[in-house]
A and B are shown apart, each in its own frame.
Chain A
Amino acid sequence: MHLYIARRLLLMIPLIFGITIITFTVIHLAPGGPVEVQTEMSLKASAQARDNLKKLYGLDKPLHVQYFDWLKRFAKLDFGKSFVDGRKVIDKIFERIPVTLTINILSLILIFIVAIPIGVLSATKQYSLFDKISTVFVFVGFSTPAFWLALLLMILFGVNLGLLPISGIQSIDVSEMGPFERLVDWIKHLILPVGISAFGGIAGLSRYSRSSMLEVIRQDYIRTARAKGLKESEVVFKHAFRNALMPIVTILGLSVPGLIGGGVIFETIFAIPGMGQLFYAATMSRDYPTIMGILVIGAILTLIGNLIADISYALVDPRIRVRK
């Protein structure tokens, strides 16, 4: 097991190098580079000013020197300063994480609570009416643009019924509220974002747990359990369900990067000051240090998520541990 983890960790090193190289290359594809962006607003910016800026960002050095300089600072979690407001990128990222993390954890919980029962039930009653309806739901769920759903629900609950607020994470007059009112206000603001960000995930996970459950139900030990006369509920929950859960555990690991990543479109729609919105604002203003920082952090989180998924799978499934 230790050997397995060690090998997986070693494998990550070249991947992290690749990620940083690609990020660096993508950013330097920019015609004119970052300096143009800062000076294009003021046509009067002299050649002298441009040179000064270039020196400030180290852009006058050869590319590979720039890359290794960037990599060195990156290893110390120093992503440089934002072009837009001169603040440290790492600070900008960290202040956005709590909001995105809250919404995504809540929606992840919602996904697991709703999707697993749907998946298990439609697998145990394969080809039943419930199975058919949930299959249709899954396909519609996969095909619905989340931001469109957000617009529709905003129209329904926000505009027509006036029940829920349609933007931000708190009301303007939140400072005048008591603690209980604040909580209600907070919940009201979160219902739509959490529900919508869970929607696609529910479709995906319920499909996944359905096929995982179907796979297990066909196994010999389930036939044995039935043959020795166990009650169906016991067969399903004690014998089948626990085994079907194992591959689902890996989904948790794979959700890690999404927890911080957040939806760009959807945070923009609801005016939620999270990571997605930060990234969108950064791309619109071509704030390269911020773009690079978020891209690299996102990619490395994905790698860590994959690692957690693999390790947790090996932990819950002894077959994998023995083989490796």
Chain B
Amino acid sequence: MRLLSVIGKRFSRNRLSVIGAITVTCLIILSLLAPFVSPYDPTAIDVHNVLSPPSKAHPLGTDELGRDVLSRMIWGSRVSLKVGFVAVGIALLIGIIIGAIAGFYGGKVDAVLMRFVDIMLAFPTFFLILAVIAILEPSIFTIMVVIGVTSWMDVARLVRAEFLTLKERDFVIAARSLGAGDLRLIFWHILPNALSPVFVAATFGVAGAILIESGLSFLGLGVQPPNPSWGNILTAGKDNIEVAWWLSLYPGLAILITVLSYNLVGEGLRDALDPRLWEAERH
């Protein structure tokens, strides 16, 4: 607990990161409350109000089918949130397991697993994601899985590096001599101590996943219309680029603000959790 409050204090020293954290919290609340705060039904078509510019009735205008852009963006925030968290969750699960096994056992196991990581890193990620999605059916579920399965490599490397040093430490040797098995050593003793770089990577990962999702939906390979996502509103923006600037401006701004907030939180966490800085502070 004392540790948490110290981390909190160090985090709150970075003003930009605090702003990022507040924005992220607001976005999460907004997306949870989407049914209550969104002024219109996001899929309600209104043929009399097609492509109308921002006005009092529609603060962010309407799209090519007369749907309210603000409502679609509020509902779209759910997509970003879901994709960000689930994709990163999958990446963490794979990355932690592979990294932990590689770092804990070392030797041949480590060599094989790390070559696998190298192979995965060699692929142009976006091309690989596109290929897999084209083969499977494009949907929010496919996207989450595919982004997760193609973005665990950094986590694996981080966890492995932590395990390599931690497994030699006295507390691990002590636990082992008391008869703790491999599983207990890995998950109970070592993993909790290896998590801080993982938290940081996860935060940046959410930002990256949201960016990728928006790109995929923009290409028509993500969330399928009529369901709204920030990316597929931008597709409408591109199709109506000569007449409806609001369709391009606002969803992109939402992506920028969201991704920026997660990145700022990640940066703040990195500083707050960096043990080297802790040492410096004590002196």
Residues in A with CB closer than 8 Å to B207 are 143
| Contact of A121 with B by CB under 8 A | no
Known: A148-B255, A152-B248, A152-B252. A298 touches B135 (CB 8 A): no
A303 x B252 contact (CB < 8 A): no
Q: Complex Cα distance A306/B119, Å? A: 12
Closest Cβ of chain A to B131, distance in Å, is 5
B127 x A264 contact (CB < 8 A): yes
Binds B, one of A12-20, A48-56, A89-97, A313-321: A12-20
| Contact of A27 with B by CB under 8 A | yes
Q: Complex Cα distance A158/B242, Å? A: 9
B130 x A18 contact (CB < 8 A): no
The closest CB in chain A to the CB of B257 belongs to A143
| Contact of A3 with B by CB under 8 A | no
Interface residues of A in 125-170 (CB under 8 A from B): 139-140, 142-145, 147-149, 151-152, 154-155, 158-159, 166
Residues in A with CB closer than 8 Å to B135 are 26-27, 29-31, 286
| Contact of B188 with A by CB under 8 A | no
| Contact of B259 with A by CB under 8 A | yes
A-B contact pairs, 14 of them (CB 8 A): A15-B115, A22-B119, A140-B260, A144-B259, A145-B255, A148-B252, A155-B245, A155-B248, A159-B241, A159-B245, A265-B215, A283-B130, A295-B127, A300-B122
The one of A22, A257, A264 that contacts B130, using a Cβ cutoff of 8 Å: A264
| Contact of B58 with A by CB under 8 A | no
Which residues of A come within 8 Å of B, CB atoms? 14-15, 18-19, 22, 26-27, 29-31, 139-140, 142-145, 147-149, 151-152, 154-155, 158-159, 166, 257, 261, 264-265, 268-269, 279-280, 283-284, 286, 291, 294-295, 298-300, 302-303, 306
Interface residues of B in 185-238 (CB under 8 A from A): 207, 211, 214-215, 218-219, 221, 234, 237-238
Q: Which of A31, A152, A269, A283 has the most CB of B within 10 A?
A: A283
A261 x B124 contact (CB < 8 A): yes
Known: A147-B218, A148-B234, A286-B135. A295 touches B128 (CB 8 A): yes
Q: Complex Cα distance A142/B20, Å? A: 15
Residues in A with CB closer than 8 Å to B127 are 261, 264, 279, 294-295, 298
Closest Cβ of chain B to A7, distance in Å, is 14
The closest CB in chain B to the CB of A20 belongs to B119
Main secondary structure of the interface of A (DSSP, over half): helix
Residues in A with CB closer than 8 Å to B136 are 29
The one of A140, A152, A264 that contacts B219, using a Cβ cutoff of 8 Å: A264
A264 x B126 contact (CB < 8 A): yes
Residues in A with CB closer than 8 Å to B249 are 152
Q: Complex Cα distance A298/B116, Å? A: 17
Q: How many A-B residue pairs have CB under 8 A?
A: 124
A299 x B118 contact (CB < 8 A): no
Known: A18-B116, A22-B119. A145 touches B237 (CB 8 A): no
Closest Cβ of chain B to A141, distance in Å, is 10
A302 x B218 contact (CB < 8 A): no
The closest CB in chain A to the CB of B247 belongs to A151
A143 x B260 contact (CB < 8 A): yes
Q: Complex Cα distance A29/B211, Å? A: 26
A265 x B116 contact (CB < 8 A): no
Residues in A with CB closer than 8 Å to B122 are 15, 19, 299-300, 302-303, 306
| Contact of B264 with A by CB under 8 A | yes
| Contact of B71 with A by CB under 8 A | no
Q: Complex Cα distance A139/B256, Å? A: 10
Interface residues of B in 65-109 (CB under 8 A from A): none
10 closest A-B pairs by CB: A148-B252, A283-B134, A18-B119, A143-B260, A143-B259, A298-B124, A151-B248, A302-B122, A299-B122, A30-B135
The one of A151, A257, A269, A295 that contacts B131, using a Cβ cutoff of 8 Å: A295
B238 x A151 contact (CB < 8 A): yes
Q: Complex Cα distance A152/B255, Å? A: 14
Contact with A along B110-141 (1 / 0, CB 8 A): 00000110111111101110111111100000
Residues in B with CB closer than 8 Å to A14 are 115
Residues in A with CB closer than 8 Å to B62 are none
A284 x B248 contact (CB < 8 A): no
Closest Cβ of chain B to A77, distance in Å, is 19
Residues in A with CB closer than 8 Å to B133 are 283
